[in-house]
């Protein structure tokens, strides 16, 4: 007897199901605007038809430079219904980074809102982006731009008649890219529905969830919250800003049950007078990730917000552990255990697994792991560890250890990445900009602890012979040329940089010296 041929649903299928069975329930809310699940299903169908009408066939890529709002949610999840891969871009990076990501992704079109339309125009005029790039505007459309909402609304509401393979590309999320080669993290549709299911379970989502999205919707942290909410058929509430007072106002007005934050947000929320003036009793579970969460902030957030706080450690590349509420008190310094479907090991410098209690690099394996880095087989290979069983595991670049019960503790980072305000900053990007200054001979950018941001970049500089410049002037020059979140706090001058026998700069020594 043969079984029924029932394929596993992907996120577009889940949205369609909710459109049928949760038709009148709120799916997405932004201020006074709201889409029910039926309307959201239909609007995402229109997105797919609209992209097809522009000539974006299956497997094309669409760059998104859009501020938080319903339109961004529609685009993120509607493009997939037409098997168009979305490339959401961090709005705070500079123009060079925007151009680098769009070019690297091979995006045939870009949707932009507000001043970001002018950014795209400047880049095309300067020859940094091709004039053939299809430009779609959310809002007033100037010359060369198509009015995206008008085009979308002119399309049919029916589901596109196109089959979506589970291994088809769903998105590319860039981890870096002010200069040089950015790294685009590729997720398939199968990978993304796995994220939705596993995160929903781990973070205690349910059908009554009302999830507040406070961060940019281009961030994978926002994706985590949205995908989990979509899977359970809850309601996504989008904020246009992330001011603490506004967060508390939204929690009260929309009876928010779930949300995702980075540590700097929780720190600001704890000191916000609005906290005691608002009814936030609807909160059930919030997640914090993006950078290390200080123990005092972790406990105070749980107590003052009076809800479960689940700390998540992970990478957009696909490694996730969580510290569950039931383990909160006795394992406060830990980042918990791998979620269901994930495996974690610790390996030494010779790529051999170490016993519990010993420190080493954290590697992971599971169904959330990315397909690889787009156009970067070198980076994909560098991030791969082959286990003794012959399985490909993902290197995190982080140093950690297990305790006797298998709880993970993150000790240090093997990589030089700086995590500031929940955003990943890569020193090489800032260093490449600073090397263009005529007075700079050598530069090493490191992260130093910061009470507000977790870490902040500091540049250690060796000047050219006979060159002279003030530290303040070099800081100002650099910060005019990097993205807002990449701005350095200080410049330290030295006669030389510490190096090993192979000439590699020993950044860990610098971090220890300037901590």
Q: Quickly list DSSP for 157-178.
A: -SPPS----TTSEEEEEES--S
Q: How confident is the model at residue 504 (pLDDT cuts 50, 70, 90)?
A: low
Q: Are residues 381 and 509 in the same domain?
A: no
Q: How confident is the model at residue 416 (pLDDT cuts 50, 70, 90)?
A: confident
pLDDT tens-digit readout, 153-167: 999 999 999 999 999
Segments forming the whole domain that contains residue 149: 11-240
Which stretch of DSSP H or E encloses residue 270?
helix 263-270
Q: What is the pLDDT of residue 509?
A: 85
Q: Are residues 43 and 177 in the same domain?
A: yes
In a domain, 144, yes or no: yes
Q: How confident is the model at residue 46 (pLDDT cuts 50, 70, 90)?
A: very high
Q: How far apart are CA 149 and CA 221, in angstroms?
A: 26
Q: Is 216 helix (H, G, I), strand (E, B) or coil?
A: coil
In a domain, 154, yes or no: yes
Task: State the helix-helix crossing angle for 11-21 and 220-232, rounded to 10 degrees.
Answer: 40
Give the Å distances, CA to CA, from 367 to 170, 356, 394. Answer: 15, 24, 11
Q: Are residues 82 and 218 in the same domain?
A: yes
Q: How confident is the model at residue 176 (pLDDT cuts 50, 70, 90)?
A: low
Q: Are residues 15 and 55 in the same domain?
A: yes
* Res. 25: pLDDT tops 80: yes
Q: Which of 259, 232, 262 is nearest to 248 (CA)?
A: 259
Q: How far apart are CA 430 and CA 444, in angstroms?
A: 9
C-beta separation of 260 from 222 below 8 A: yes
C-beta separation of 241 from 212 below 8 A: no
Record the tokens describing residue 183, joined without a space. Answer: 């790294």
pTM of the model: 0.85
**CATH number of the domain residue 383 falls in:** 2.30.38.10
Q: How confident is the model at residue 101 (pLDDT cuts 50, 70, 90)?
A: very high
Domain count, the chain: 3
pLDDT tens-digit readout, 478-489: 999 998 889 999
Q: Are residues 221 and 110 in the same domain?
A: yes
Record the tokens describing residue 220, joined without a space. Answer: 């994978």
The pLDDT of 301-321, averaged and rounded, is 94
Higher pLDDT: 93 or 129? It is: 129
Q: Are residues 45 and 148 in the same domain?
A: yes
Q: How far apart are CA 324 and CA 335, in angstroms?
A: 9
Q: How far apart are CA 297 and CA 293, in angstroms?
A: 7
- Per DSSP bridges, beta strands 360-366 and 342-347 are antiparallel
Mean pLDDT over the full length of the chain: 92
pLDDT tens-digit readout, 2-18: 577 777 899 999 999 99
């Amino acid at each position: 007897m043969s079984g029924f041929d029932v394929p596993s649903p992907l996120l577009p299928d889940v949205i369609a199901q909710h459109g049928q069975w949760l038709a009148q329930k709120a799916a997405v809310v932004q201020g006074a605007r709201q889409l029910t699940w039926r309307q959201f299903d239909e609007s995402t169908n229109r997105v797919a038809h609209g992209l097809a009408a522009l000539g974006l066939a299956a497997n094309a890529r669409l760059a998104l430079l859009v501020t938080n709002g319903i339109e961004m949610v529609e685009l993120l999840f509607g493009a997939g219904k037409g098997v168009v891969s979305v490339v959401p871009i961090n709005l705070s990076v500079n123009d060079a980074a925007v151009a680098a990501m769009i070019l690297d992704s091979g995006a045939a079109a870009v949707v932009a809102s507000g001043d970001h339309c002018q950014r795209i125009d400047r880049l095309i005029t300067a020859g940094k982006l091709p004039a053939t790039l299809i430009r779609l505007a959310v809002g007033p459309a100037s010359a060369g731009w198509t009015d995206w909402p008008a085009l979308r609304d002119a399309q049919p509401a029916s589901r596109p008649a196109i089959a979506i393979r589970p291994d088809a590309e769903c998105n590319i999320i860039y981890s870096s890219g002010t200069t040089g080669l950015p790294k685009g993290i590729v997720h398939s549709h199968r990978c993304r529905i796995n994220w939705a299911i596993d995160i929903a379970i781990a973070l205690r989502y349910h059908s009554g969830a009302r999830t507040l999205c406070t961060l940019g919707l281009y961030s994978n942290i926002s994706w985590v919250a949205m995908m989990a909410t979509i899977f359970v058929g809850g309601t996504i509430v989008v904020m246009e800003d992330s001011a603490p007072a506004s967060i508390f106002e939204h929690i009260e007005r929309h009876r928010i049950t779930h949300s995702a934050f980075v540590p700097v947000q929780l720190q600001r929320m704890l000191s916000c007078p609005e906290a005691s003036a608002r009814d936030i009793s609807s909160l059930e579970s919030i997640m914090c990730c993006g950078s290390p969460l200080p123990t005092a902030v972790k406990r105070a957030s749980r107590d003052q917000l009076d809800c479960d706080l689940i700390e998540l450690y992970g990478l957009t590349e696909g490694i996730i552990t969580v510290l569950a509420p039931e383990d909160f008190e006795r394992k406060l310094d830990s980042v918990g255990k791998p979620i269901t479907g994930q495996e974690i090991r610790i390996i030494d410098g010779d790529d051999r697994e170490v016993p519990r209690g010993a420190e080493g690099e954290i590697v992971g394996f599971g169904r959330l792991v990315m397909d690889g880095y787009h156009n970067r087989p070198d980076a994909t290979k560098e991030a791969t560890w082959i286990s003794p069983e012959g399985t490909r595991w993902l290197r995190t670049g982080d140093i950690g250890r297990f305790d006797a019960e298998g709880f993970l503790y993150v000790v240090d980072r093997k990589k030089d990445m700086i995590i500031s305000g929940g955003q990943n900053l890569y020193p090489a990007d800032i260093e490449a900009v600073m090397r263009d200054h005529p007075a700079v001979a050598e530069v090493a950018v490191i992260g130093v602890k910061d009470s507000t941001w977790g870490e902040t970049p500091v540049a250690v500089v060796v000047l050219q012979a006979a060159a002279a410049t003030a530290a303040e002037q070099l800081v100002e020059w650099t910060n005019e040329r990097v993205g807002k979140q990449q701005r350095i706090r200080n410049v330290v001058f030295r006669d030389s940089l510490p190096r090993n026998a192979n000439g590699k700069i020993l950044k860990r020594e610098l971090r220890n010296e300037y901590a």
